[in-house]
Structure 1
Amino acid sequence: MRKYILILLTAALIMACNDDFLEKNPRTSLVEENAFKTYDNFKAFIFPCYEMFTNTTIATSLSNGFSQNAQYRGDVNAGYLTTRFNFNSYAFQTVQNATTGNGWNFDYIRRINIMLSHVDQDNELTQAERDHWKAVGYFFHSFWYMELVNRFGDVPWITQVLNETSTDAYGPRNDRKMVTDSILTRLKWAEEHIGDFEAKNGKNTINQNAVQAALSRFTLREGTWRKYHGLGDHDKYFSECARVSEILMAKYPTLYTGTDGQPAAGYGEMWTTEDLGKVPGVILYKEYRESTLLNNNNYVEHTSSHIIEMPQHTVDMYLCKDGKTISNSSLYDGDKDMYSTFRNRDPRMYHTIMPPYRVKAGKGDYNTWSFTDNPADREYIDIMGINSSTSNPGVGMKRLPAQNWGANLLAYVPNLQNGIAAQGTKAAAYVACRSGYYVYKNWNQWETNFNQAALNTSDKPIFKIEEVLLNYAEVKWEQGLFNQTIANMSINKLRERAGVDPMIVAEIDANFDPKRDTTVDPVLWEIRRERMIELMGEGFGFDDVRRWKKASWYINRQQLGMWIQQSKVNESLWDENTHLPTKSKSEGYIYLWADPIVEGKGWLDKYYLYQVPTDEIVLNPALEQNPGY
């Protein structure tokens, strides 16, 4: 403990001699008894808890580098996204046995409990400051427990500082409902008592709005888990979610519309903007600064290291611009080439998957280009904006044609790994994929990129009003109160920014999407679709499909890529099962991974909860394992 305090506390203590030193803690040493005196002492000690937002245990965590190990991972596990090299371990039952780790970690909880144990003791804090630091401690304690419960269900509820001899350190897991009710109580206390200390803490720190955003997320998650997993007593969570979401919606009435002039620019720029402190609707964000704290998210997506793709069945979830599904929209142009697949679709798709194009590269020069004679080749270049830069960094957000980290031109998309690009050109080594649908949420032209170096400074959102709007829409349906007015307050604000026609609730019936899961109400299906699209690539997917108890529907799908002629794909990417039954073997959807059900695999219900690490049970036999492991 002493070494942590020495690292964290920056105030220097003046050495002094005193003949009563045997009766007092040494003034020259920082120990727990004298380290919590000033406001800044508490601030410095709790500061490492902000690392929760980049701790990749949490699916929505942010990454300073490879986002496939952070916020993309939750959507990969959900089956929304896929990777270039690995099939879904939940679909094929290859989840490894957990001997240690697996998210069973109480280090943050110990740190927070140490701080909380000193808040009300002898120190220089005013009562308002005591309440503030207790509220901040309750926030972080609750935020980490949200993840523990989300993974394991029943967990030990620890609010005291434990050591090796504490009997509570070797007790059983507490009931999930007791733990979540305690989390709710603490978050509500924090909401009511957290102070306005922006001048002392900085603007981008935990405040009442951040607590309310966590409440909105937690109460929807727990309420729907209780409902769909048969635990009961969920209505109070729905009421809290609706209450706190309405408060935030009033505080943040405006959505960010962006600066780059592209369709849905505000949506795309949320992950590619240098200063989110100036962006409306952002409640809390991860701040990056040149020469101080950098990331390389953008760099990775400009290289061959990025492995995140989208399977065809998720592409098919994107609506057309008229707000209708691909099954019913007159705007849908089919999927027999990528130009058709992207045409007239929800523009959020263009900011998530790199759109198709083709240009002519300058002869012997990878940094110059010109348009081809085919007007279709430039359709999405004109939509996204022309990238005229030949340098690194360039200018703008998701401009086309794309470049690699060194500003070398990518002359065509799709760029199929181990395959053949359009019109017989060999695939480039960078920005390659198997499916044709390359996910590039963190991509922009303006950030500096250098091989194997973190130089990117774009901020990343932690809490934003868009999630709250989706929480509100969903919880109002769960309360039986969703109607056109609620749709206009929530989903249609997101659609208006995206450039998609509004949801008309009265038009949504059983035939609105004939490809939906028919066990889900048609309106609820559309609310969930909107959540899926708006939050794509932000890590919510696996938590969502588990709380809805619908993991098997999303995860047991065979993952296929774009439709293509066999002559343009390397044989290793082709399989006799990839074509439609009415089509010849000469064309079809690219084979990515086998059908898990055909292979005798598929989602196991034990995966709804994670395995308690076996080493923890050895250390504490009072812990019981989750069912099925």
Structure 2
Amino acid sequence: MKKIVYTALVATGLTLSACNDSFMERYSDTSLTENTVFGNYNTFKTYAWGLYDVFTNGNILRRVGSDGAYASSRTYFSDVYAGYLMQRQGGGNPYAFQNISNVASGNGWSFGYIRSVNVMLANIDKSTMNETDKEHWRSVGYFFRAYFYAELIARFGDVPWIDHILTEDDTEIAYGKRTPRKTVADNVLNDLVYAEEHIKSAGDGDNTINTNVVRALISRFALFEGTWRRYHNLGDEEKYFDACIKYSEKLMQAYPDLHDNWGEMLTSNLAGMKGIILYKEYVPSEVNNYAMHLVERTSTHNIEMPQHIVDMYLCSDGNPIGTSEKYEWGKTDKTMYSTFRNRDRRLLETVAPPYEVVNHANKSWEYVDGKREYMDILGVTTYTGYGGGNGEAGKHKVFPMMNWSGNILPAVPHFFTNQGGVGFCVAKSGNYVWRLYNVWDCSLENKAEADMPIFKIDEVLLNYAEAKYEKGEFNNEVADITINKLRRQFAKIADMDVNAINNSFDPNRDPDVNPVLWEIRRERMVELMGEGFGFYDVRRWKKAEWFINKVAYGQWATKEQIGEGGTFINLETGLATTDKEQKEGYIYMYNDPTKVGKGWLDKYYLYQIPTNEIALNPNLLPNNPGW
């Protein structure tokens, strides 16, 4: 992302509103500052740099960067909430165990950013710019406002639609009712269509908002809104599926090629990478307190994958584990080696696969016979430039795993702290998530260089495939240009054959979902794992209960592996086993939420409007259902 320049704004006194500003904080002094800041094309550009902060906004769950010691964990929150991932510590999924509290403020109910965009939009026609330039900046403003409103809609449904700077005369809006969701969504889509037609095709330079970035947001938002309307019975969804298909097709023509290494898209410099539409650029000299990639090489990282999600990854023949002849687990042994054998390669890049080396005191090591197959499969090179982040960009998944100072992790799985004298990269379940792990960008000083994608063609292909299904138009031809294209990119699994997918294709699927749609959704989950889409997806499908109510447990292990402090789960009761003599089994992580009287509540589909906001404006009542 371009550097954000605040100097001119601060000098004039016009700063961007804090993102947690209350909707009620709506009146502001716009004299002098607007007259001096908004004059010509370059001053609009300077102001707009600050709007790019929306992509790392703390009020948005699906964000592309995060700061602080637990930054890596926060990046995964959406998929943790969806039940795709779990935390080693923390009491389990808060939505599964009903640990979501009533809120007085916050919760993402924030309109300060909307006001910041509207300030820019209000000054366009007053400027000295020509009509083409005015249309461009109006389009940029519409994009940013739409991006934030998409989040507000996803959280709250009905929200106030504010398309201008509120004044003392705007009491009907300030103290009025929420605007119906469908009206707000239609306004967002209309603004984005305008922006796609009027924004400058090249934006304002490399990696800025341009025609294709607008199309990417339409693709994402239109799929979300269309499926939400369909599965939540709101109606009038077809125009959103049509929009998703139309603008996704334009992007598929503009980005015909994919990057050939799936894992590198979250661990590398993204400038010039195939398929990347917009990304957040990190420059070490200008970034502080950013530790996403460093965390995954420490004892702090606590994100793991429950075994039932590992089991959702397909085998190399394109079949699920329940019907695949390629699935090895249980045929010769029940180790992690057989679990990961002949599986979708994206699993190996998401969950650290098994290996074992002989670790020597001087930070050197040697292979162990029969324990290096996944080292060879990933094709990584060993790395000896310990610490400091002075490795080679792209050499991301390096074996053996090591911490920030180059100390070796001799084996995966690594079940408990100080097992083998090593306290980092621990996974109680055995399934250590290392999506962001890399060695070259060590972030020792809490500064980073690896970029993060905001929009990429991989997501667009999945949006297109799903929208085509919802239109009744998904077939092998569509599968070949979307899902099969992604599989051939890196996964190394057989193509999807739509005609072969029937009710018996996967005996473990949700029986209430069409088997073809289930496979489309599976592909999305796998391709976008760890990128913040999960909680949005399970809610728009109205399938949160199916995913979130699952009992989270670890891989099959022996008592010797997990130690005396570990225990196994009884899948019939959903609780920890009481058999003290049990020698092996699936590792207990958390109780089955439904077996202990908890589980997903339908009120969670929409967030609560904070009580303080309702106190200020009682017309916001009724709150969302169940709150």
Q: Provide TM-score, normalisation by structure 2.
A: 0.90
Distance 1:116 1:5, change over 3 A: farther
CA contact (8 A) 1:271 1:460 kept: yes
In structure 2, what is the equivalent of residue 519 of structure 1?
A: 512
CA contact (8 A) 1:401 1:411 kept: yes
In structure 2, what is the equivalent of residue 313 of structure 1?
A: 308
In structure 2, what is the equivalent of residue 40 of structure 1?
A: 42
1:290-301 paired onto structure 2 within 5 Å: 290-293=284-287, 295-301=290-296
1:460-479 paired onto structure 2 within 5 Å: 460-479=452-471
Distance 1:6 1:312, change over 3 A: closer
Q: In 2, Cα distance between the equivalents of 1:576 and 1:196?
A: 56
Distance 1:57 1:11, change over 3 A: closer
Q: In 2, Cα distance between the equivalents of 1:278 and 1:50?
A: 20
- Following superposition, the deviation at residue 394 of structure 1 comes to 3.5
Distance 1:601 1:419, change over 3 A: farther
CA contact (8 A) 2:573 2:595 kept: no
Q: Gaps (5+ residues) in structure 2?
A: 14-30
Alignment pair present for 1:391 and 2:378: no
1:347-426 paired onto structure 2 within 5 Å: 347-362=345-360, 364-365=361-362, 367-372=363-368, 374-375=369-370, 377-384=371-378, 385-392=380-387, 393-395=390-392, 396-418=395-417, 420=419, 425-426=420-421
Alignment pair present for 1:234 and 2:230: no
Q: Deviations over 1:435-461 (max 9, x none)?
A: 1111111111212442xx223201110
Within the candidate set 446, 463, 477, 1:454 is matched to 446
Distance 1:88 1:164, change over 3 A: farther
Q: In 2, Cα distance between the equivalents of 1:521 and 1:80?
A: 20
In structure 2, what is the equivalent of residue 220 of structure 1?
A: 223
Q: In 2, Cα distance between the equivalents of 1:518 and 1:113?
A: 47
1:142-153 paired onto structure 2 within 5 Å: 142-153=146-157
In structure 1, what is the equivalent of residue 596 of structure 2?
A: 599
1:45-194 paired onto structure 2 within 5 Å: 45-65=47-67, 66-68=70-72, 70-86=74-90, 87-121=92-126, 123-163=127-167, 166-167=170-171, 168-194=173-199
Q: Secondary structure at the match of 1:288?
A: coil
Larger Rg: 1 or 2?
Answer: 1
CA contact (8 A) 1:56 1:70 kept: no
- Following superposition, the deviation at residue 431 of structure 1 comes to 0.8
CA contact (8 A) 1:56 1:63 kept: no
CA contact (8 A) 2:568 2:586 kept: no
CA contact (8 A) 2:5 2:50 kept: no
- Following superposition, the deviation at residue 620 of structure 1 comes to 0.8
- Following superposition, the deviation at residue 67 of structure 1 comes to 4.1
**Mean Cα deviation higher: 472-481 or 328-337:** 328-337
Q: Deviations over 1:290-343 (max 9, x none)?
A: 312363221111111111110001100100111111111111111621111111
Distance 1:351 1:580, change over 3 A: farther
**Mean Cα deviation higher: 82-91 or 55-64:** 55-64
In structure 1, what is the equivalent of residue 534 of structure 2?
A: 541
In structure 1, what is the equivalent of residue 264 of structure 2?
A: 269
In structure 2, what is the equivalent of residue 557 of structure 1?
A: 550
- Following superposition, the deviation at residue 571 of structure 1 comes to 3.9
CA contact (8 A) 1:419 1:568 kept: no
Q: In 2, Cα distance between the equivalents of 1:378 and 1:164?
A: 69
In structure 2, what is the equivalent of residue 614 of structure 1?
A: 611
- Following superposition, the deviation at residue 210 of structure 1 comes to 0.4
Q: In 2, Cα distance between the equivalents of 1:139 and 1:587?
A: 54
CA contact (8 A) 1:473 1:491 kept: yes
Q: Deviations over 1:474-512 (max 9, x none)?
A: 010000000000000100000001211110111111111
- Following superposition, the deviation at residue 7 of structure 1 comes to 4.4
Distance 1:506 1:627, change over 3 A: same
Q: In 2, Cα distance between the equivalents of 1:101 and 1:114?
A: 23
Distance 1:5 1:320, change over 3 A: closer
Q: In 1, Cα distance between the equivalents of 2:166 and 2:178?
A: 15
In structure 2, what is the equivalent of residue 22 of structure 1?
A: none
Q: In 2, Cα distance between the equivalents of 1:533 and 1:71?
A: 16
CA contact (8 A) 1:5 1:35 kept: no
User: Which amino acid is 1:105 matched to?
Assistant: S
Q: Secondary structure at the match of 1:542?
A: helix
User: Which amino acid is 1:559 matched to?
Assistant: A
Q: In 1, Cα distance between the equivalents of 2:100 and 2:11?
A: 47
Alignment pair present for 1:574 and 2:567: yes
User: Which amino acid is 2:535 matched to?
Assistant: F
Q: Secondary structure at the match of 2:585?
A: strand
CA contact (8 A) 1:565 1:586 kept: yes
**Mean Cα deviation higher: 558-567 or 53-62:** 53-62
Q: Deviations over 1:507-539 (max 9, x none)?
A: 111111000000000000000000000000001
User: Which amino acid is 1:347 matched to?
Assistant: R
Q: In 1, Cα distance between the equivalents of 2:526 and 2:5?
A: 44
In structure 2, what is the equivalent of residue 260 of structure 1?
A: none
User: Which amino acid is 2:305 matched to?
Assistant: M
- Following superposition, the deviation at residue 191 of structure 1 comes to 0.6
Residue identity (%) = 48
- Following superposition, the deviation at residue 69 of structure 1 comes to 5.0
RMSD over aligned Cα atoms: 2.2
Q: Secondary structure at the match of 2:209?
A: coil
CA contact (8 A) 1:386 1:401 kept: no
Q: Deviations over 1:528-581 (max 9, x none)?
A: 000000000001000000000000000000000010112322344314525999
- Following superposition, the deviation at residue 30 of structure 1 comes to 4.8
User: Which amino acid is 1:230 matched to?
Assistant: N
Q: In 1, Cα distance between the equivalents of 2:256 and 2:519?
A: 23
User: Which amino acid is 1:340 matched to?
Assistant: S
Q: In 2, Cα distance between the equivalents of 1:222 and 1:104?
A: 19
CA contact (8 A) 2:119 2:165 kept: yes
Q: Provide TM-score, normalisation by structure 1.
A: 0.90
Q: In 2, Cα distance between the equivalents of 1:138 and 1:129?
A: 14
Alignment pair present for 1:302 and 2:302: no
CA contact (8 A) 1:56 1:62 kept: no
**Mean Cα deviation higher: 281-290 or 519-528:** 281-290
Large movers: runs of 4+ above 6 Å? 10-13, 579-584
Distance 1:116 1:301, change over 3 A: same
Q: In 2, Cα distance between the equivalents of 1:185 and 1:546?
A: 24
In structure 2, what is the equivalent of residue 587 of structure 1?
A: 584
User: Which amino acid is 1:606 matched to?
Assistant: K
Q: In 2, Cα distance between the equivalents of 1:67 and 1:491?
A: 31
In structure 2, what is the equivalent of residue 24 of structure 1?
A: none
CA contact (8 A) 2:267 2:436 kept: yes
Q: Gaps (5+ residues) in structure 1?
A: 14-28, 258-265
Q: In 2, Cα distance between the equivalents of 1:52 and 1:407?
A: 35
Q: Secondary structure at the match of 1:283?
A: strand
Q: Secondary structure at the match of 1:350?
A: helix
